[in-house]
Amino acid sequence: MGALIEIRQLSKIYVRGKQKIEVLHDINLDISGGDFFALMGPSGSGKTTLLNLVGGLDVPSSGTVSVAGQRIDRLAAGKLARWRAAHVGFVFQFYNLMPMLSAQRNVELPLLLTRLSAVERHKRTAVALELVGLADRVKHKPGELSGGQQQRVAIARAIVSDPTVLVCDEPTGDLDRASAEEVLNLLQRLNREHGKTIVMVTHDPRAAEHATHLLHLDKGSLVESVSSAA
């Protein structure tokens, strides 16, 4: 069976003024459905850029990115937005929740882009919040929740539309150890019990231990790939 995510000869060059910076160089990578990949590497190694390309937030300078057989590097902005809405769930380091909206409304956001009725949206939102253990916090706004709770709301938002891939950029980078462990266990549960494919960038080796595969990037190139027994 082919990989869920296929990356071939991927390069990304940023132009800053007259300077060209090659952030990623000739990356080749296959990620199968149900994998939990951790991307590690020093700052500036290109981890987040690779994550952005996998999540369809950016387009490569050369090479291809295919997800579930679809070349996303060729999609125009509008189609790419629709593709992201349908196939990718994002979790950020600083949660990036809407401060004026309740947890329930935050989680509902991706569903607004679907044709689901209000009742159906409400049901799915409740299920997602239940799954992350925040069924009793639906009416709370982000400012009324702890960092760990906010990140769990962000995870609920990421999974509510049942995406193909979860893309997580330093999901525990802003959390204390206990909250980080809760979030990582949650991600691991989503991977193991619900079969979610996860690609996670992290600096934290302990976070990476929760993944099934570990990738090291350095100066824009893949230097090591390890399969763990996590």
Partner 1 sequence: MKYLHLVWAGLWRRKARTVFTLLSILTAFLLFGMLNAVRVAFDAGDQLAGAGRLIVSSKLSIIQPLPLSLLTRIEALPGVKKVAYANWFGGYYQERRNFFPNFAVSPNYLDIYSDLFKLSATQRKSFDATRDGAVVGAEIAKRFGWKIGQRIPLIGGIFPRRDGSKEWDFQLVGIFTAADPKLKGVEQDLLFHWKYFNEGNAYMHGMVGWYVVKVLDPQHSDRIAAAIDRLSVNSDHETKTETEQAFQRAFIAQIGNIGLIVGGIMAAVFFTLLLLTGNTMAQSVRERIPEYAVMKTLGFSDKRILALILAESIGLVLIGGVAGMGVASVLIPTVNSALGGTLLLPPVDLGSWAVGLVLMLAVGLVIGILPALRSMRLNIVDALAGR
Q: Of 21, 113, 135, 223, which lies in the binding site for partner 1, with binding defined by CB under 8 A?
A: 113
User: Is residue 92 part of the contact set for partner 1 (CB under 8 A)?
Assistant: yes
Give how many residues touch partner 1 by CB under 8 A. Answer: 26
- How far is it, in rounded angstroms, from Cα 160 to Cα 195? 14
Q: Of 15, 17, 69, 99, which lies in the binding site for partner 1, with binding defined by CB under 8 A?
A: 99
User: Is residue 98 part of the contact set for partner 1 (CB under 8 A)?
Assistant: yes
- How far is it, in rounded angstroms, from Cα 207 to Cα 175? 12
Q: Of 35, 58, 73, 170, which lies in the binding site for partner 1, with binding defined by CB under 8 A?
A: 58
Q: Least distance (Å) from partner 1 to the CB of residue 225? A: 25
11-20: which pairs have CB atoms within 8 A and are 24 or more residues apart? 11/60, 11/61, 11/62, 11/63, 12/46, 12/49, 12/53, 12/58, 12/60, 12/61, 12/220, 13/61
Range in contact with partner 1 (rule: CB under 8 A) among 2-10, 88-96, 131-139, 145-153: 88-96
- How far is it, in rounded angstroms, from Cα 199 to Cα 219? 19
Q: Of 3, 109, 126, 127, which lies in the binding site for partner 1, with binding defined by CB under 8 A?
A: 109
Number of neighbouring beta carbons within 10 Å of residue 164: 17
User: Is residue 90 part of the contact set for partner 1 (CB under 8 A)?
Assistant: yes
Residues numbered 144-163 forming contacts with partner 1, rule: CB under 8 A: 157
User: Is residue 81 part of the contact set for partner 1 (CB under 8 A)?
Assistant: yes
Task: List all residues 6 or more positions away from 195 whose beta carbon is below 8 Å from its beta carbon.
Answer: 33, 34
User: Is residue 223 part of the contact set for partner 1 (CB under 8 A)?
Assistant: no
- How far is it, in rounded angstroms, from Cα 114 to Cα 182? 30
Residues numbered 22-41 forming contacts with partner 1, rule: CB under 8 A: none
Q: Which two tokens stand for residue 200?
A: 């996670």
Give residues in contact with partner 1 (CB under 8 A): 52, 55, 57-58, 77-78, 81-86, 90, 92, 96, 98-101, 105, 109-110, 112-113, 118, 157
